[in-house]
Amino acid sequence: MKKQNRILLTVLGLYFMVFTIIPSFLLISPTVQASTTSDRTGFQELKPKTSQFIPRTIRVAFYGELNVTRPSYDTTSSILNSNYTALWNVLENAGYQVYNLTKADVLSHKLKTADYDVFIMADNLPRESIVNYVKEFWLGGGGILSLDSAIVYLNYAGILPPESEGGDGEGIYWNYISTYEQNITMRHPITKSYQLNDTYLTDFNAGWASYDWTALQGTSIASDLVMLGSKSGSSNDATSVAFDPSNGGGRVVQLPFSGKIIHSNTENLAIDAIEWLCPRPKGRILFDLSHQPFYGVDDWDEPDYATWGERYYLWRDNLVNRSYTFDKLYPSATGNLTSNNLAPYDMLILGSPTINYTANEISSVMNWVNNGGGLFILGGYYDANSQRINDLLSSTGLNVNLTNDGAIGMADYKEEHPTVEGCTQLELTVLPGLINHTGNAFPIWGQSSKAIVIGGQEYGNGRIILSGDMFFLRFNNIILEDNLQFSINVANWLTASQAEVLIYVHEHISSDPNDNPYRGP
């Protein structure tokens, strides 16, 4: 009888192991490959799980620009539009939350993935002063719907395609063509309401922006593109294109109408495009620029918001490519690291700060962590900046060592922890700082047991990782040794503090009523 019970328990155990989805931070992380502008090979990271697709209202922001003169980067014959009422009504009736964002709103950094899922340029173009901030939304994982002449921005910003960056792309990657009737050329989530060769219409018979499909097939993103529709009778004139980047950035769709008129047989194309464009993040990440970190993410972060810009862009791109969204926190007169600003996010990144944290900010950050947030701090060997970090972490068991530094080379001493799975060593190319750990804080990476570079702590319901080295994730350093793998593991672990965990126990018996095989007695 006991043997039968053992068999039954084993079978039941295997059943639950097979049919239960285990949070990704408990799995051995697969080897990951860095995304760079010159390397667009496939990634081995697991795709988002079905459980991520939680029904919710999709938030759509139209770019509201009354100035229809061409910005300086548009040298085409475009006729821009400020009327998108028809499309607004269609999307609102479809159940989407629809908003209007002006140039002033974007300049005030209101265009964030935490607040909006899709940004629509309805046959209009961002003014020169906000070109980078619109691109920043896309780089952070936000979706973009581009209508007609907004194609100029996609080319100028180097979004679709990257090779056109700095130019409007007309005559090379796209042209205005006279067209009215379009054919569906591919079955796709955006065209799910149609059959192949079904037709849909532009506003009226006129010149509409159309990609040259042959030209696009010669670009670095060719394998990421789908032609949804083309001009009837002209299969190379790609009037409707979907872009699902494999190298970072959110999804993009180009469609051939303005938004002020939308025919009934075109409505579903617009509605389903928004659904497809909407990101489903497994975690939302916030990078603090409000305390002038030593390193920023993009080149436009410097000099106003970071001592040095364009340092962590590859790291950001790899996080977005693995279903995270990524926003920046800019300084604001209404408050920076406040409870309201932190609330939408799962992970906060603080770089070596050159501005002090206020007492209120320290309280807000630590309360946010205590309630389940994940905090990743990148320190260094600059004493003043490190002291600011130590002030923030004064209630924890972690701090930066202000007396001793590490050495250039490898960090190959590691402690068992979910963040080191799939990792052997980190490469440190600049003199790293060291960290101290006390209480329930723990070491993760070091150059020896006495020279710890990275440590962590579970703090209330949240988690903290402190690195004494801010250099190992900058530029192409991230693709050295296991630097990238570790950075992805960190994001997975920090954003999963509130994940439900199923533990399989095979006839585990203990006389200790408090025994737990996962946490220990």
> Over the stretch 385-438, which tens digit does the pLDDT of each residue have?
999 999 999 999 999 999 988 889 999 999 999 999 999 999 998 989 999 999
Residues 353 and 380 in one domain: yes
Res. 31: pLDDT tops 80: no
Residues 242 and 341 in one domain: no
Residues 287 and 171 in one domain: no
HSE value, Cβ hemisphere, 13 Å, CA-based, for 506: 9
Q: Do the beta carbons of residue 407 and residue 450 sit within 8 Å?
A: no
Residue 427 tokens read as: 């490469």
Residue 300 tokens read as: 């436009």
Q: Do the beta carbons of residue 345 and residue 373 sit within 8 Å?
A: yes
Residue 123 tokens read as: 């046959």
In which domain, by residue range, is 195 found? 61-277
State the CATH number of the domain containing residue 385: 3.40.50.880
Residues 443 and 478 in one domain: yes
Residues 205 and 298 in one domain: no
Q: Mean pLDDT, the chain, as a whole number? A: 90
Q: Do the beta carbons of residue 229 and residue 182 sit within 8 Å?
A: yes
| 32 in a structural domain | no
* Residues 6 or more apart in contact with residue 170 via CB below 8 angstroms: 75, 76, 152, 155, 176
CA pseudo-torsion sign 115, 389, 495, 411: positive
What are phi and psi for residue 375, nearest 5 degrees? Answer: -110, 125
Residues 266 and 368 in one domain: no
pLDDT at 517: 60
pLDDT at 7: 43
Q: pTM value?
A: 0.87
372 or 504, which is more confident = 372
Query: For the segment 508-521, what is each residue's pLDDT rounded down to a tens digit?
Result: 666 677 776 655 44
| 108 in a structural domain | yes
DSSP state of 299: G
Query: For the segment 216-236, what is each residue's pLDDT rounded down to a tens digit?
Result: 999 999 999 999 999 999 999
pLDDT at 6: 43
Q: Is 377 exposed, middle or buried (0-12, 13-18, 19+ CB in 10 A)?
A: buried
Query: For the segment 46-91, what is each residue's pLDDT rounded down to a tens digit?
Result: 344 333 444 579 999 999 999 999 999 999 999 999 999 999 999 9
Residues 72 and 199 in one domain: yes
Rounded average pLDDT over 375-389: 90
Residues 270 and 291 in one domain: no
Res. 16: pLDDT tops 70: no
Cα 169 to Cα 157: distance, rounded to the nearest angstrom: 10
- Least-confidence region, from 152-156, 323-327, 401-405: 401-405
Residues 121 and 244 in one domain: yes
* Spatial CA neighbour of 176 closest among 72, 71, 254, 78: 78
Q: Is 459 exposed, middle or buried (0-12, 13-18, 19+ CB in 10 A)?
A: buried
Residues 102 and 243 in one domain: yes
Residues 125 and 76 in one domain: yes
| 508 in a structural domain | no
Cα 373 to Cα 204: distance, rounded to the nearest angstrom: 51
Res. 40: pLDDT tops 50: no
pLDDT at 41: 34
Residues 234 and 101 in one domain: yes
| 8 in a structural domain | no
| 54 in a structural domain | no
